[in-house]
Amino acid sequence: GENVEQHPSTLSVQEGDSAVIKCTYSDSASNYFPWYKQELGKGPQLIIDIRSNVGEKKDQRIAVTLNKTAKHFSLHITETQPEDSAVYFCAASYPGDQFYFGTGTSLTVIP
Amino acid sequence: EAQVTQNPRYLITVTGKKLTVTCSQNMNHEYMSWYRQDPGLGLRQIYYSMNVEVTDKGDVPEGYKVSRKEKRNFPLILESPSPNQTSLYFCASRPSGGLSGELFFGEGSRLTVL
Are B33 and A99 an interchain contact pair (Cβ–Cβ within 8 Å)? Answer: yes
Closest C-alpha to B89, from B56, B46, B58, B51 = B46
Does A1 have pLDDT greater than 90? no
Does B111 have pLDDT greater than 80? yes
Assign A20 a pLDDT band (cuts: 50, 70, 90).
very high
Does B98 have pLDDT greater than 70? no
Strands (E), chain B: 4-7, 10-13, 19-25, 31-38, 42-51, 54-57, 65-66, 76-78, 87-94, 104-105, 109-113
Burial class (CB in 10 A: 0-12, 13-18, 19+), B14: exposed
Query: Choosing among A30, A99, A100, A103, which should be mutated to test the B contact, i.e. which has the most B CBs within 10 A?
Result: A99
Assign B101 a pLDDT band (cuts: 50, 70, 90).
confident
Closest C-alpha to B102, from A20, A85, A34 = A34
CA distance A89 to A6: 8
- Return the percentage of chain B with pLDDT > 70, whole number: 96
Closest C-alpha to A50, from A65, A29, A61 = A65
Mean pLDDT of A76-84: 97
Mean pLDDT of B22-47: 94
- Return the percentage of chain A with pLDDT > 70, whole number: 97
Burial class (CB in 10 A: 0-12, 13-18, 19+), B3: middle
B62-95 confidence digits (pLDDT tens): 999 999 999 999 999 999 999 999 999 999 999 8
Chain B interface includes A50 (CB < 8 A): no
Does B100 have pLDDT greater than 70? no
Mean pLDDT of A73-85: 97
Does A96 have pLDDT greater than 80? no
How many other CB atoms are there within 10 angstroms of residue A106's CB atom?
Answer: 14
**Regarding predicted confidence, which is higher, B57 or A29?**
B57
**In this structure, are residues A24 and A44 in contact, taking their beta carbons and an 8 Å threshold?**
no
Are B102 and A41 an interchain contact pair (Cβ–Cβ within 8 Å)? Answer: no
pLDDT of amino acid B102: 86
Mean predicted lDDT score pLDDT of chain B: 93
CA distance A69 to B81: 43
Per the document, the length of chain A is 111
Residue A51 three-state SS: strand
Query: From the list A1, A41, A89, which residue is nearest B42 (CB)?
Result: A89
pLDDT of amino acid B76: 98
Q: Which residues of B touch A100 (CB under 8 A)?
A: 45, 59
Are A43 and B35 an interchain contact pair (Cβ–Cβ within 8 Å)? Answer: no
**In this structure, are residues A13 and A109 in contact, taking their beta carbons and an 8 Å threshold?**
yes
Chain B interface includes A57 (CB < 8 A): no
How many other CB atoms are there within 10 angstroms of residue A14's CB atom?
Answer: 9
Instruction: Name residue A13's beta-bridge partners.
Output: A109
**In this structure, are residues A99 and B33 in contact, taking their beta carbons and an 8 Å threshold?**
yes
Mean predicted lDDT score pLDDT of chain A: 94
